[in-house]
Amino acid sequence: MPAPIDLSPLPPCDWSPQLRDLLGAALRDHDLVDQPVSGPGQLNSVATLAHHPRLAIAFGQLVGSLSAGELSARDREVVILRSAYLTQSTYEWSHHRPLALRAGLSEAEVQRLGSDPIDDEWPAREKALLSAVDELHHRSALSTTTGRELAEHYRPRQLLELVFLAGCYRTVATLLNSCEVPLDSGVEALSPPVRR
């Protein structure tokens, strides 16, 4: 069965020179990838976005800003993996699980990110973070309670980053799932836990 949207990843030789230069530099500068931006092992997510160079460049700049932002790497990966679970994005889960482990999450914590409801073992700060991701996913808004809990732990700039990060990775998952973007070579396929 073909993908709902058939946009196969473009080989780098078909990318615009501007896209190759700007997007490649942005990804390398922010240490976002373990794989090269082009050639064997390229990121298929980036190669799929290459169908729309202007959008790909803008997206690369947004992701670069978020990765170099004020949220800790641990918080960032908590948000991304929770989003990957909620959207059932195998691509995001497979790519970000190793990043989450490097950011200090344990294997048990990674697995708990893929469970409902959010358990009480999380510290208050991370529980508020997870509640925020869930609310943004399901309602596109934060509840007053979650907003207050977040404000106890995060500065205004971090709160803005949180909202953008959750929205960004939900959008990415929508693209990845709709185009059935294949995992990159060398990346172990790790599906998020199935939602019940």
Enumerate the domain spans of the chain: 14-67, 73-177
Rounded to an integer, the average pLDDT of 79-86 is: 97
CATH of domain 73-177: 1.20.1290.10
pLDDT at 37: 45
pLDDT at 40: 43
Question: In this structure, what DSSP letter does residue 25 have?
Answer: H
* pLDDT digit string, tens, across residues 1-26: 566 777 888 877 788 888 877 766 65
- Check: CB of residue 60 under 8 Å from CB of residue 26: yes
- Check: CB of residue 45 under 8 Å from CB of residue 91: yes
Which range in 9-18, 39-48, 84-93 is most confidently predicted, on average pLDDT? 84-93
pLDDT at 34: 43
* pLDDT digit string, tens, across residues 149-196: 999 999 999 999 999 999 999 999 999 999 999 988 888 888 777 765
* pLDDT digit string, tens, across residues 116-159: 888 889 999 999 999 999 999 999 999 999 999 999 999 999 99
- Check: CB of residue 12 under 8 Å from CB of residue 47: yes
